[in-house]
């Protein structure tokens, strides 16, 4: 019987959380222009904006692996600043029965256990197709690199 697992990474941000969140809320497709070596193409399949329920096709590269993913934007919460994306079809369907990504952006000062600062937390929830499939840690590495690049850009402006 398969089991849902999750892994996550938290990245400290220098830029304002609103700017970082807004990028993924409204300009997610610009990853192709900002990181052309990694993100190869982006297009809307259903809908024409980044609202919940819309579907996008994203093609990207991790290491030497080329991935095409049809992704549904499941949840967008502008108040709590989080977005949930779920893979519907494509290259991730074979190794994972479930592949869901949650991006949360928050101020550490609002959390009692964490000091000041702003953070982006990426959580990947997945269910392996079989026990030989590794956890998608390469995706967390990609999210970290992407977050640091977006943060650096907004920290300058």
Q: Which is more confidently placed, 110 or 118?
A: 118
Confidence (pLDDT) at 156: 80
Is the pTM value of this prediction over 0.85? yes
- For the chain, where are the alpha helices, taking DSSP H only? 17-26, 31-34, 137-156
Candidate CATH numbers 3.30.70.20, 3.50.50.60, 3.30.530.20, 2.60.40.1080; the one for domain 4-156:
3.30.530.20
The closest of 52, 55, 60, 9 to 35, measured between CA atoms, is: 60
Question: What percentage of the chain reaches a pLDDT higher than 90?
Answer: 87
Q: Can you give the residue ranges of every domain in the chain?
A: 4-156
Q: Which is more confidently placed, 148 or 113?
A: 148
Each residue's pLDDT tens digit, 36-91: 999 999 999 999 999 999 999 999 999 889 999 999 999 999 999 999 999 999 99
Confidence (pLDDT) at 107: 85
Query: What b-and-e string marks burial along 22-49, b requiring 16 or more CB atoms within 10 Å of the CB?
Result: ebbbeebeebbeebeeebeebeeeeeee
């Amino acid at each position: 019987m398969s089991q849902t697992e999750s892994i996550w990474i938290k990245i400290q941000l220098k830029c304002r959380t609103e700017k970082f969140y807004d990028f993924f809320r409204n300009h997610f497709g610009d990853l192709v222009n900002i990181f052309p070596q990694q993100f190869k193409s982006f297009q809307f399949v259903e809908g024409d904006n980044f609202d919940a329920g819309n579907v996008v096709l994203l093609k990207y590269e991790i290491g030497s692996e080329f991935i095409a993913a049809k992704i549904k934007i499941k949840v967008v919460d502008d108040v709590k600043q989080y977005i949930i994306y779920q893979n519907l079809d494509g290259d991730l369907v074979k190794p994972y029965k479930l592949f869901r990504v949650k991006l949360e952006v928050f101020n550490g000062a609002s959390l009692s256990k964490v000091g000041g600062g702003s953070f982006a937390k990426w959580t990947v929830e997945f269910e392996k197709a079989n026990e030989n499939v590794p956890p998608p840690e390469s995706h967390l590495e990609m999210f970290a690199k992407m977050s640091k690049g977006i943060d650096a850009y907004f920290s300058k402006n």
